[in-house]
Amino acid sequence: MEVRRLAVVGTGLIGASVALAAKRGGRTGVIGYDVEPEALSSALRRGAVDGRAGSLGEAVAEADLAVVAAPVAQLASQVRAVLEASPERCTVTDVGSTKVGVCSAALGSGRFVGGHPVCGSEARGAEHASAELFDGATWFLTPLAATEPERHRLVHGFVSSLGARPVAVDPVAHDRLVALTSHLPHALANLLVNQAGTSRIDGHEPLAAAGGSLRDMTRVAGANPRIWIDIFLDNAGPVREALGEHRKQLERLEQALANGDAGFLAKWIGEAAGNRQRMLADAYPDPGALQQLRIHVPDRPGVLAGITQALGAERINIEDFELQHMSPERGGTLTVLITGEDEARRAAELLEAQGYGVVVTPVLGER
């Protein structure tokens, strides 16, 4: 089986990105359908879809594969509707971030393969779609016992053609996994920033004195409530389970502090360092060699471009970077990751010669 005609149902950021990535691979015949006419118009202007359908039935009538990119709360009903409206040859998948509900809604159809690309953006809407969004990203697939093998192979091949890495997983295991790795961090970021925001310490405002640690840990706080309310409620069981385990870990830490247990704290921090290194190993070829450059930058146009161009001219590769803005008066801190201590020192010397203050530390190990 081969995808010759693709239907994208829901043309927001993820749906339009799927369409753009498919077209990047040389595929034509992408038709879009959305209950929000403006979203579909944006996808057309962006060039994500080749044509617009006036109805769901029209969208999927000639499709080999239909990708459903609806919000989580609407996903189950939309998948059922697509399965009912599409011909037998059409395979159906989705891109929702929870899987148990939508897989149950498929009612054992052999044509359905659940999916979840683990990527995204804080932006929304087809105008911000990107064909590169899925490059190197994990894309979970949740085939069911009733799923026909050729349907799984079709979606697996399609996902690979978009640049992603398909990984098969049970729907229940998927929802527990993302509860721990995605939904719990979002919940804790909201809790932490709200705790700081509603506290006063001897008249001082904690948020006004916030350092990099609080900003780093709360980057995802306040994420789009239209999306995250649905995710939390749809995956409430696994999220509650993850919160319960987190509570137990907090109690162990509280007890160690009460007991003055330095041995526990040393082991606890060491385990965290090892686990973080394992996590970074998937993102970087040599995480142990990563060096972090913290660069104080003024708030003026062209600063970031000047820094990246200066490093690029010296063939110093930037593995990753992030800007934390403090204020127009104070500027901000640009964090740049570079592999290799010698390369990091060379980059620091280059930037210091241009008048920037630079602090170099290893990403792992002593800080």
pLDDT tens per residue, range 98-125: 999 999 999 899 999 999 999 976 677 8
What's the mean pLDDT in 118-141? 88
Position 208 scores a pLDDT of: 85
Q: Is residue 268 part of a domain?
A: no
Q: Is residue 273 part of a domain?
A: no
Q: Is residue 367 part of a domain?
A: no
Position 329 scores a pLDDT of: 85
- Segments forming the whole domain that contains residue 337: 287-362
Q: Is residue 276 part of a domain?
A: no
pLDDT band at 365 (very low <50, low <70, confident <90, very high): low
Q: Count up the domains in the chain and report the number.
A: 3
Closest CA to 223 of 198, 181, 188, 175: 188
Residue with tokens 């690309």: 117
Say how far apart CA 160 and CA 171 lie, in whole Å: 20
CATH number assigned to the domain comprising residue 333:
3.30.70.260
Winning range, highest mean pLDDT, from 147-151, 202-206, 279-283: 147-151
Position 367 scores a pLDDT of: 45
CATH number assigned to the domain comprising residue 134:
3.40.50.720
pLDDT band at 322 (very low <50, low <70, confident <90, very high): confident
197, 245: one domain: yes
149, 216: one domain: no
159, 223: one domain: no
Position 253 scores a pLDDT of: 98
- The pLDDT tens digits of the residues spanning 244-271 come to 999 999 999 999 999 999 999 999 999 9
202, 75: one domain: no
CATH number assigned to the domain comprising residue 242:
1.10.3660.10
154, 192: one domain: no
Say how far apart CA 306 and CA 240 lie, in whole Å: 46
256, 126: one domain: no
54, 74: one domain: yes
Say how far apart CA 178 and CA 120 lie, in whole Å: 14
Q: Is residue 161 part of a domain?
A: yes
250, 235: one domain: yes
Q: Considering the chain, what percentage of its residues have pLDDT values greater than 90?
A: 77
11, 138: one domain: yes
- Tell me the residue length of the chain: 367
134, 10: one domain: yes
Side-chain-facing half-sphere of 290: CA atoms under 13 Å: 22
Domain boundary among the residues 169, 188, 208 is at 169
Domain boundary among the residues 260, 278, 309 is at 260
- The pLDDT tens digits of the residues spanning 22-36 come to 998 776 689 999 999
- The pLDDT tens digits of the residues spanning 202-249 come to 988 998 878 778 888 898 899 889 889 999 999 999 999 999 999 999
Q: What is the largest CA-CA distance in the chain?
A: 68
User: Worst-scoring range by mean pLDDT, 21-25, 54-58, 168-172, 227-231?
Assistant: 21-25
178, 165: one domain: no
Higher local confidence (pLDDT), 86 or 209: 86
Q: Is the pLDDT of residue 177 over 50?
A: yes
Q: Is residue 312 part of a domain?
A: yes
pLDDT band at 146 (very low <50, low <70, confident <90, very high): very high
Q: Is residue 28 part of a domain?
A: yes
Asked if 345 and 360 count as a contact pair (C-beta separation under 8 A), the reply is yes
Asked if 101 and 169 count as a contact pair (C-beta separation under 8 A), the reply is no
Q: Is residue 256 part of a domain?
A: yes
Closest CA to 250 of 278, 258, 97: 258
pLDDT band at 65 (very low <50, low <70, confident <90, very high): very high
Position 291 scores a pLDDT of: 93
Position 213 scores a pLDDT of: 85
Q: How does the average pLDDT of the chain come out, rounded?
A: 92
254, 312: one domain: no
Position 122 scores a pLDDT of: 64
Position 287 scores a pLDDT of: 84
Higher local confidence (pLDDT), 34 or 328: 34
